[in-house]
Amino acid sequence: MIPIHSRTQTSIDFSADLFRQSKHAVVLTGAGLSTPSGIPDFRSTGTGLWSSDEPMEVASLNTFRTEPEKFFHWFRPLANQIFYAEPNPAHCALATLEKAGRIASIITQNIDTLHQKAGSQTVIEMHGTMQTLTCTQCYHQVGASVHLASFVDKGEIPLCPKCNQILKPDVILFGEQLPQAAWHKAQQAARHCDLMLVVGSSLEVLPVAGLPMQALDRGAHLIIINNTPTYLNVRADISIFEDAAVILPAIAERVLNG
């Protein structure tokens, strides 16, 4: 077991108390939650995806439409990491808390489906999902597993089984609108929670970054677990700058077993 500093343990205990007092807790997760599973985040210096690539050049809707080969060339290493990734202890801790009735829903900026793999049931995916692909011409939707396996292993661009046109992963690219149903659910969750836990998000990407403020404005408590500060740390009840894969299991253990 990794030793936990006494000050961090105090924050863990306080966080657990907030969970035990909460009637409707909501979680917002970002890329930092999945880095222990081997999936890079976007903005970490040196290791983040945008340290070496300009997002509008490789991950925009315009690039996908005009130069799909360029998009898929950039996307393949990330798809490989996501395709073979497994949930880490942070995902499992959240799933355990949800199963115990301590979490009402999880709002995620991640596309890796690791929450679902860990067993979480109520997951609101704000930036789309890697579970499906949709044809750009006939809009036929297919499950991702078979098509992504060929793409990841052989570099074959996925094609529609009906019309043979390119399949687009159902992830939100730069220049695309957020899925409106998911955005509505996320706003409802933020506005009705009495506790919001933010994990692994820099809270830099709008409009999702504004959800914790909506919760705060309605009197909710706020816990932030992230490696770097966010614009809302000054408003948080608790801020923990540690590895979520260590901290979340410790919080869950304290919540459920005292």
For the chain, 258 residues long, give each residue's pLDDT as a single digit of tens. Answer: 566 778 899 999 999 999 999 999 999 999 999 999 999 876 545 444 544 556 667 789 999 999 999 999 988 988 888 888 999 999 999 999 999 999 999 999 999 999 999 999 999 999 999 899 999 999 999 998 878 888 888 888 999 999 999 999 999 998 899 999 999 999 999 999 999 999 999 999 889 999 999 999 999 999 999 999 999 999 999 999 999 999 999 999 999 997
Q: Is the C-alpha dihedral spanning 30, 241, 246, 24 positive or negative?
A: negative
The Cα 23–Cα 18 span in angstroms is 10
What pLDDT shows up at residue 3?
65
**19 is written with which tokens?**
């969970």
So what's the architecture of 41-84+128-171 in CATH? 2-Layer Sandwich (3.30)
C-alpha triplet 76, 171, 149: angle, nearest 5°:
40
| Cα 15 versus chain centre, distance | 21
Q: Given 3.40.640.10, 1.10.150.120, 3.40.50.1220, 3.90.25.10, which CATH number is that of 1-39+87-127+177-258?
A: 3.40.50.1220
Burial class (CB in 10 A: 0-12, 13-18, 19+), 134: middle
- Please answer whether residues 111 and 130 qualify as being in contact, where contact means their C-beta atoms are separated by less than 8 angstroms: yes
Q: Is the pTM of this model over 0.85?
A: yes
Residues 6+ away with beta carbon under 8 Å from 33: 88, 90, 91, 108, 110, 114, 199, 200, 244
Paired tokens of 54:
């300009």
The yes-or-no answer on residue 91 being catalytic is no
* CA separation for the pair 134, 174 (Å, rounded): 17
User: Which pLDDT does position 152 carry in this prediction?
Assistant: 86
Catalytic residue among 127, 184, 192, 221: 127
Q: Smallest Cα–Cα separation from 182: which of 79, 109, 101?
A: 109
Give the pairing type, strands 221-225 and 195-199: parallel
In the chain, what are the domain boundaries?
1-39+87-127+177-258, 41-84+128-171
Find the Cα–Cα–Cα–Cα dihedral 15, 193, 242, 98, rounded to 10°. 80
Domains 1-39+87-127+177-258 and 41-84+128-171 are alike in CATH topology: no
Token digits of residue 137:
């011409």
Coil/strand/helix, residue 241: coil
- The Cα 16–Cα 254 span in angstroms is 6
pLDDT, tens digit, 9 for 90 and up, residues 147-187: 888 888 888 899 999 999 999 999 999 889 999 999 999 99
Query: CB count, 10 Å around CB of 187?
Result: 16
Strands annotated E in 4-127: 25-29, 105-108, 123-125
Helices of type H across 128-243: 144-154, 180-192, 211-217
